[in-house]
Every structure is written in C-alpha cells, then in structure tokens.
Amino acid sequence: MTLRLASAGESHGPGLVAILTGLPAGLTLDRDAIDADLRRRQEGYGRSPRQRIEQDRVEVLAGLRHGRTLGTPLALVVWNRDHDNWKWGMSPWPPEGDPVGKGTKPVTLPRPGHADLAGVLKYGHADVRDALERASARHTAVHVAAGSVAKALLATIGIAVSGGTVDEPGLQARIDEARADRDTVGGIVEIRATGVPPGLGTYAAKEDRLDGRLAAAVMGIQAVKGVEIGDGFALARLRGSQAHDEIGPDRRRSTNRAGGLEAGMSNGEEIVVRAAMKPLPTLMKPLASVDLVTGEPGEALVERSDVAAVEALAVVAEAAVAWELAVSARDKFGGDATVDFVAAHQAYLARIAWR
C-alpha cells in the first residue's frame, strides 16, 4: 500500500477536505503543530485581508483516535470562515431566498494568468467563478495540513523538511511599491530536507524517480513556473568537472550541486529544491480582457487578492516536498504500523553501513 492524498474544496465554499490513505497506524499527531503550519501559510508580507477572516485550524473526522493514527483513511477538514459572506453565492445546493452577500453575480471577464478563460471553455461553465473557486490557492491550506502529517511520519526516521524564501534585498519595499501601483509580485522559495537516507526513489521507472516526483509536486502548486533541484539551471553552463559532487573516503560529498538527488534517488546529502513564483494574476489595475457574454473588450475581474504570496508558497512547497518524501519513504520501508516502518528504516541503515 502506498500513501495517497485526495483533496476537495472551493475557495469560498463551506470548507476544504483531504483524505490521506496508506498512513501507518500508531503515528502520533500533534494538533498544535498542524495548526502552526496552517498559521505559517496565512502569514507573510503582502497577503490579503482574507487572512484576517480565516484563522485556519484542522479538524479530524476519521482515522485518528486519541492523537494516534488507526491505519485507516485519515480525513482532515479546514473550514472556510469567509463562507459566511458567500452563503448564497457558494451554496452547494440551489440557494433559497433573494441573492445576498458575495458571489451572486456571474463573472464574465476572465483574468489573464488565471484559470478563468481555459477553465470555462474546458468545463462549459457560464460563470467564471465555477472555474476560479477551485483553481484558487485557498485549498493549499488542507495540503499544508497533509504535509504536516507527512512531516510527523518523516520525523520518526529522522527526516526534517523546511522551507523559506530566497533572500531578496528589499522584499518588503518591492511589495509596498507594487501595492501602491496596484500591481503584484512573485519571488523564489527554497525547500531543504535533511536526514534523508540514500535510496529513496528509483531510476527504474520514470514515474517513481524522486526528482521527477518532487518537481511535479512543486510545479503543481499555483503560480509556480520554474523548479530546480540543486544548482539546476546553473549546471547547464558548467563543465562536468565543475558540476558533480566528488565522493570522499567516508562516502560523503564536500559539495552538493546535485541537491541531494542523483538518478532519481536521494543520495544521502541534503535535498534542495527551489521554485520560482510568477507575479499573482489578480490585479487591482486590471489587464485587458473580453466579456465572454457580449464579446466586448473589457477589464479583467478585480477581486480581493494578495499582492505577494511568496512566504506562503514556501510553506505550501515545504508541505508538497514533505508529502512526496513520505510517499517515497513509505514505498521503501512499508509498514502497516509505524514501529514496522521505523524498524525497516533501521535495518536498511544497518545494511548500508560503511564496512
């Protein structure tokens, strides 16, 4: 059995749901640690006032008893407090009574850079909101909760994952300037994982390569347009003699240009993944668009929005990397029970110990 994650939820719907299957039984979860990650996702300079309405907390509906996993599907929920303002507009069932609150009028002016245009064409929607509500990054909240669970599993075998923004001088000033110009910005984040043993992932099948899985998971996050592992794009300009990490007598490397991954496997060094985020597409000074009903030129939808979400991306990408590492670790070490998972890891370390 492998680890799997399915999620559901719209940005202004009642809530966000994730179902995690394949978790070993007997894993201790800490509610405060999950909520702390949810809080970290909401913080950061440049976020919209929405973050003051939501104060995300995880609720568990199934798969946990007295703080320990049961080995059965784990169901997580994060409620959208803002749904109170969208009860009519985002009612799952045909709403009763007169339209009231937000989201009552159809959106017909798609935003360049968002899901709006291709989303309505693909699914045959008349209202752009039917596409944008799920495309929005709001549901990354429940993915961060799932990432927290993954980090708890990884911690049992000594793996730690952390994410942050890549230092950029004057980041806050750049955001302030963009806000004043009614514009948005992007940025770069970096995720590191320590304690990863060599041999997670494989070269045997491309869908199981750990580098590919990490890149897909991070690229799958909204607004990410570039992912690199280790020195990534810069390696293309180097000679082989400068680009690879020589192997010392203790099997360790004095450099880590490969970012801890060779041939689709972890190599025992720190895993380093970087992601580039584009400037957010919802602009207070909207770009040109077309009204999908009248065919007339117009200005794209303006909706409450972040000016920057780079710090939030660091938390979301940390969760994505943690999840993929947990999947690879679960595939390698198996275990219906957490003790079996830990014992298999120990046995593996003993087998590969330097002779």
- CB closer to ligand FMN out of 29 and 312: 312
The Cα 234–Cα 226 span in angstroms is 13
Tell me how far, at minimum, the Cβ of 32 lies from ligand FMN, in Å: 22
The Cα 145–Cα 139 span in angstroms is 10
Measured in whole angstroms, how far is the alpha carbon of residue 278 from the centre of its chain?
15
Give CA angle at 76 (70, 79), nearest 5°: 155
The Cα 179–Cα 45 span in angstroms is 11
Tell me how far, at minimum, the Cβ of 96 lies from ligand FMN, in Å: 30
Tell me how far, at minimum, the Cβ of 310 lies from ligand FMN, in Å: 9
- CB closer to ligand FMN out of 29 and 317: 317
- CB closer to ligand FMN out of 37 and 245: 37
- CB closer to ligand FMN out of 68 and 304: 304
Tell me how far, at minimum, the Cβ of 200 lies from ligand FMN, in Å: 25
Tell me how far, at minimum, the Cβ of 194 lies from ligand FMN, in Å: 24
Yes or no: say if 160 and 193 are a contact pair by the CB < 8 Å rule.
yes
Beta strand pairing call for 265-266 and 261-262? antiparallel
DSSP per residue over 293-352, as a string? TT--EEE----S--S--HHHHHHHHHHHHHHHHHHHHHHHH--SBHHHHHHHHHHHHHHH
The Cα 317–Cα 44 span in angstroms is 15
Q: Which residues contact ligand FMN by CB under 6 A? A: 48, 113-115, 135-137, 140, 221-223, 278, 280-282, 305-306, 309, 312-313, 316
Yes or no: say if 218 and 317 are a contact pair by the CB < 8 Å rule.
yes
- CB closer to ligand FMN out of 153 and 316: 316
Tell me how far, at minimum, the Cβ of 239 lies from ligand FMN, in Å: 35
Beta strand pairing call for 224-229 and 261-262? unpaired
- CB closer to ligand FMN out of 137 and 178: 137
The Cα 263–Cα 187 span in angstroms is 29
The Cα 325–Cα 204 span in angstroms is 17
The Cα 7–Cα 43 span in angstroms is 22
- Other Cβ atoms less than 10 A from the Cβ of 225: the count is 10
Tell me how far, at minimum, the Cβ of 156 lies from ligand FMN, in Å: 28
| 180: three-class secondary structure by DSSP | helix
- CB closer to ligand FMN out of 265 and 308: 308
- CB closer to ligand FMN out of 227 and 280: 280
Tell me how far, at minimum, the Cβ of 355 lies from ligand FMN, in Å: 46
Measured in whole angstroms, how far is the alpha carbon of residue 336 from the centre of its chain?
26
